[in-house]
């Protein structure tokens, strides 16, 4: 029964999107759902953070650029920087190519190992798409496609100057960081990342992420309200509670 209800809700959501009601649905979610309200506040704080830390020539990487909401702010505040954006979904990649002609765009995902990988394209909610399906079976309209996967350390040398990287890849953030460990350790940039329940789909624990960022990379972790630096215990409790899922790490 629950699976059937989830499927019907997914179909209704897809119909609403096709009718052009996507923005209205997003507004309703942000008004009603605590997680959506939290995300809206974090988006505002992220915009402030970018305006404070980026110089005109800062170099940035946007992993999981989607429709370019964050990339737009990056280009605005660092117009002379050399920016790279990753987006594996074909229709979003094409959109970004039109909107951001000065950015180096790559139609690929990032992970710890390069190759070609299955990718769950959530047609009814594209922002939930990823290398592993995070939505319940039947809850959304999901199409399995194949995408190119790159490793950051294999595409950029450690001496490439990197000032900020934003990672929002629906649970696969740990693999992106592991694959770029040399570049990140050399540059120690601002790392803006999402880390929530979807990470469990990849077998990533709070301890794994904390030890990589705080231990191996030597970066301190804060939430988007500026609370921190997080200890391992605080980071673990926050992950378990699910009341914070957007973070920034820096030296």
Position 1 pLDDT exceeds 50:
no
CATH number at residue 238: 3.40.50.150
Q: What is the Cα–Cα distance from 192 to 116, expressed in whole angstroms?
A: 26
Q: Residue 96 in contact with residue 85, Cβ under 8 Å?
A: yes
Q: In the chain, pLDDT over 90 holds for what percent of residues?
A: 82
Please report which confidence band the pLDDT of residue 78 belongs to, taking 50, 70 and 90 as the band edges: very high
Q: Which domain holds residue 170?
A: 2-250
pLDDT of residue 19: 65
Please report which confidence band the pLDDT of residue 30 belongs to, taking 50, 70 and 90 as the band edges: very low
pLDDT of residue 74: 98
Q: Residue 61 in contact with residue 37, Cβ under 8 Å?
A: no
pLDDT of residue 11: 54
Structural domain count of the chain: 1
Q: What is the pLDDT of residues 49-62, one digit of tens each?
A: 999 999 999 999 99
Q: Quick check: helix, strand or coil at residue 63?
A: strand
pLDDT of residue 136: 80
| Token duo for residue 126 | 């594209």
Position 21 pLDDT exceeds 60:
no
Show Cβ contacts of residue 194 under 8 Å, excluding neighbours closer than 6 positions: 167, 168, 169, 170, 173, 245, 246, 247
pLDDT of residue 139: 83
pLDDT of residue 169: 98
Average of pLDDT values for 59-82?
A: 98
Q: What is the Cα–Cα distance from 36 to 28, expressed in whole angstroms?
A: 9
According to DSSP, the residues that pair with 145 across neighbouring strands are 119
According to DSSP, the residues that pair with 148 across neighbouring strands are 116
Q: In the chain, pLDDT over 70 holds for what percent of residues?
A: 87
Closest by CA to 226, choosing from 92, 45, 89, is: 45
**Residue 84 CB: number of other CB atoms within 10 A?**
20
């Amino acid at each position: 029964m629950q699976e059937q209800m989830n499927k019907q809700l997914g179909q209704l959501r897809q119909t609403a999107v096709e009718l052009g009601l996507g923005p209205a649905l997003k507004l309703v979610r942000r008004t009603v759902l605590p997680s959506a309200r939290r995300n809206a506040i974090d988006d505002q704080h992220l915009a402030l953070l970018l305006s404070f830390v980026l110089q005109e020539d800062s170099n940035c990487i946007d992993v999981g650029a989607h429709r370019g909401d964050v990339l737009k702010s990056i280009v605005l505040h660092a117009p002379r920087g050399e920016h790279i954006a990753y987006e594996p979904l074909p229709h979003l990649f094409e959109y970004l190519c039109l909107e951001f002609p000065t950015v180096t765009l790559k139609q690929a995902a990032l992970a710890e190992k390069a190759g070609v990988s299955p990718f769950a394209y959530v047609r009814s909610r594209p922002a939930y798409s990823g290398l592993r399906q995070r939505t319940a079976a039947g809850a959304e309209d999901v199409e399995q496609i194949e995408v190119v996967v790159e490793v950051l350390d294999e595409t950029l040398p450690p001496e490439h100057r990197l000032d900020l990287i934003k990672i929002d890849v629906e649970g696969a953030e740990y693999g992106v960081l592991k694959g770029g460990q040399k570049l990140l350790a050399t540059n120690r940039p601002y790392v803006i990342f999402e880390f929530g329940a979807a990470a469990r789909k990849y077998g990533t624990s709070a301890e794994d992420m904390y030890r990589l960022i705080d231990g191996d990379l030597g970066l301190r972790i804060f939430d988007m309200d500026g609370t921190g630096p997080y200890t391992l215990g605080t980071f673990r409790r926050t992950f378990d509670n699910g009341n914070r899922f957007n973070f920034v790490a820096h030296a």
